Structure 1
């Protein structure tokens, strides 16, 4: 994996590990055992499975190969909690994770404690392979941060089917703010570079850093808001096939899309389901839970386009990583998009770029080479992070990716324009 520890001391590494694990524990603290078992679709996983899988990752890729005396609490967990690592062995069917009632929640917590104690003992000793172990622990922490985001969005999807519309966090009204006009900033083109430069942690798919040529472009100064989206809806945007890619229109028609996921109309007002329960749609907050197909149709309707991932990186690479992102365990954050925020956080922003390898990319050998490389087909890149992305995971080069039809993640958009 393309990664380097920014602070290689054992104390800093242990602190990162403990901080990451504590945030996961905080995220599941409000859940009852029945919540922990929810699996509402194949793309989502139960919270209990996320707890176990992120633990399996440390066990499978660090403890088993690097600690000869290590013994798992239960060898069957290797089958139950592997996700998609073919080289790591067989695994339970993805769409049936919600049927695994045993081991129960306490057994999974015991598993987490066992692995945490074993890893702490491993890190406390001087070893010749300490650098390799440190890189793997850092990767394992960032892997768990990704699953923290998935845990939140999977839970939101699962709870949304409950007619009681339960709350995960205490209800809290979204602050009413003035509308921010949609303006653009011009960025000069020419030869430039994107990709991770090698300082600090990055996933393998963020490199190698490479040169490319861009035309001049305009980038919107804010994401598309709910008010913008309602205007698109009221203008017949979902019905007008002129704005849509043929495949996107077919999917929208088949699925009956007429608004973003979780929206409904009540008393002449748009409402949405959130982790704080049902709330009126905040007009000046970034629109969220829209697919690539919807985002692309909106951009055409607006007389604009989606940016490329290179344009997004170049436009915002010098902007400090601050915004509505997931916080620490003591306060995980808003976990919903908010009005008036900056570039980072709130919603992942669809780009027009395929999730494809950068020039010179080579997947690492072994099972960890499956982390990103084998997903580089038929998916689109998103940039910028969301309200469910842990703050310390964000970088200007961070590429996440989803299929064009998917909506349950914190997915939104920002517009770009050609300079003519």
Structure 2
């Protein structure tokens, strides 16, 4: 249990480190419905441990505040009433100081709990709580960037590392031959339930870019009038562009004739060699169409993932978020974690610069509505070889990655 206790402490400390230099005022802001105040994230992740582990499984545990389940429940219908998502920014109380006191209360109780001989089932529930908090760390990073990136002063911040990453133009492709590929999680460690139901998927031959699309490539799409040319867009995507006056990725600003972007260092001249990020599914699909290509399916992505560089950008796929064969929601509140969101969302694969180390794996599935782009989302292109290209250079590339026996 020592290893689990150490992991618990490490994960909890990382959440607070992300917020280390925020001012009190920064903790409460909610500019849009998709962004939650940092204070709420810190409270909600503590509520998760209190609700799912401490109250039902630690004798004599005292709830920190009986109002907190109402304040910090996110979407668990089976656990009762809650503050609706749009009102999280109205929570001037509890104060930031009180939320940190709540975290100390929960941490002390969890330390006591993890000193006990707990069942394997409770160990896995604790791991779920830790992975849940790691997901919120990624959301914290994106939400803080959105909050500060919509402050007219565009302040710099240093809690969230956005390393400089040079990406080569996405013109080198890896050929994958047709065949059956195993999809989904196999193993004895932790995974989310939406990764279960491992199954074979038949894939036709395809080619997938070895690098992500860069800012420079995407700026060429903009310069060519890509946002105004309807032929590249899904109908809903074009409506979204028009209704929201979208003309560039989130955080891009045209200043004195040059593109700039906002990030951890404040407003900077756009680095054309970095991977483009903060684009919606609609934008990713439109760019791919402009290039005469497409986005990969999540199955194509997973089949080729061992060739990829991890920790760059979440990558949009052309796959709707759906259950794998045999998937069933577990009974009780934990069953609300993933299954009820399997509608009207698109799958992302990979990880990002703000994903906690070791959090993801090749079978990991993220998912968002197609218009969202406040997360660190990027583009990897794919294409289906023409019949007359399936020999020579294309097949030579395909030989590098063979279908499993």
Normalising by the smaller structure, the TM-score range is over 0.9
Structure 1 position 361 matched with structure 2 position 327: yes
Structure 2, unmatched stretches of 5+, are: 387-405
SS in 2 for 1:401: strand
Is 1:38 the equivalent of 2:29?
yes
Distance in 1, matches of 2:161 and 2:381, equals 30
In the alignment, the residues of structure 1 paired with residue 32 and residue 51 of structure 2 have an alpha-carbon distance, to the nearest angstrom, of 26
Shift in Å, 1:199:
2.8
Q: 1:93 to 1:360 in 2, by over 3 A?
A: same
Counterparts of 2:167 and 2:290 in 1: how far apart (Å)?
Answer: 24
Q: Any idea what SS the aligned residue of 2:347 has?
A: strand
The residue number in structure 1 matching 2:63 is 72
Normalising by structure 1, report the TM-score.
Answer: 0.89
1:176 to 1:106, Cα distance in 2 relative to 1, 3 A: closer
Q: Tell me what 1:375 maps to.
A: 341
Pairing 1:394–2:388 present: no
Q: Aligned pair 1:98/2:64, yes or no?
A: no
Aligned to 1:414: 380
In structure 2, the residue corresponding to 1:358 is in which secondary structure?
A: coil
- Check the 8 A contact 1:58/1:115 in 2, yes or no: yes
Whole-Å separation in 1 of the counterparts to 2:56 and 2:312: 39
Shift of 1:268: 2.4
* Partner deviation per Cα, 1:141-167 (whole Å, 9 max, x = no partner): 000000001111111111122111111
Find the counterpart in structure 2 of residue 119 from structure 1. 110
Q: CA deviation at 1:281?
A: 1.1
3-state SS of paired residue (1:345): coil
Contact conserved, 1:189 with 1:214, CA < 8 A, in 2?
yes
Query: In structure 2, what is the equivalent of residue 88 of structure 1?
Result: 79
1:280 shift after superposition: 1.1
Distance in 1 (CA, whole Å) between partners of 2:38 and 2:163 is 27
Q: Which residue of the partner structure matches residue 394 of structure 2? A: none
8 Å CA contact 1:171, 1:276 repeated in 2 = no
How far apart, CA to CA, are the structure 1 residues paired with 2:165 and 2:373? Answer: 25
- Equivalent position SS for 2:152: coil
Out of 188, 202, 212, the residue aligned to residue 223 of structure 1 is 212
d(CA) in 1 for partners of 2:36 and 2:162? Answer: 29
Cα distance in 2 for partners of 1:109, 1:291 equals 34
| C-alpha spacing 1:112/1:177, structure 2 compared with 1 (3 Å) | closer
Matched residue, 1:237: 226
For residues 192-248 of structure 1, the C-alpha deviation after alignment (integer angstroms, 9 at most, x for no partner) is 210000331110001110111100110101011101101101111100001111111
1:315 counterpart = 2:304: yes
Q: What's 2:49 paired with?
A: 58
Task: Using the TM superposition, give the Cα deviation of residue 76 of structure 1 relative to its aligned residue in structure 2, in angstroms.
Answer: 0.7
The match for 2:397 is none
**In structure 1, how many angstroms separate the alpha carbons of the residues matched to 2:4 and 2:29?**
33
Question: Number of residue pairs matched?
Answer: 386
C-alpha displacement at 1:170, in angstroms? 8.5
Q: Kindly indicate whether the alpha-carbon contact (under 8 Å) linking 1:243 and 1:298 is maintained by their aligned counterparts in 2.
A: yes
2:214/2:276 contact within 8 Å kept: yes
1:276 alignment counterpart: 265
2:191 corresponds in structure 1 to: 202
Going from structure 1 to structure 2, the CA distance change for 1:239 and 1:56 (only over 3 Å counts) comes to: same
The answer to which of 242-251 and 171-180 deviates more is 171-180
The answer as to whether partners of 1:172 and 1:276 remain within 8 angstroms in 2 is no
When structure 1 is superposed on structure 2, of 168-177 and 136-145 the one drifting more is: 168-177
- The 5-angstrom pairing of residues 329-340 of structure 1 reads none
- Give me the whole-angstrom Cα distance separating, in 2, the residues matched to 1:190 and 1:350: 23
Q: 1:123 to 1:113 in 2, by over 3 A?
A: same
**Structure 2 CA distance for partners of 1:177 and 1:54, relative to 1, 3 Å:** closer
Q: Deviations over 1:5-34 (max 9, x none)?
A: xxxxx0111111011001011001111100
Q: 1:168 aligns with which of 132, 157, 160?
A: 157
TM-score, length of structure 2 as denominator length: 0.92
Q: Residue 90 of structure 1: SS of its match in structure 2?
A: coil
Structure 1 gaps, min length 5:
1-9, 320-341
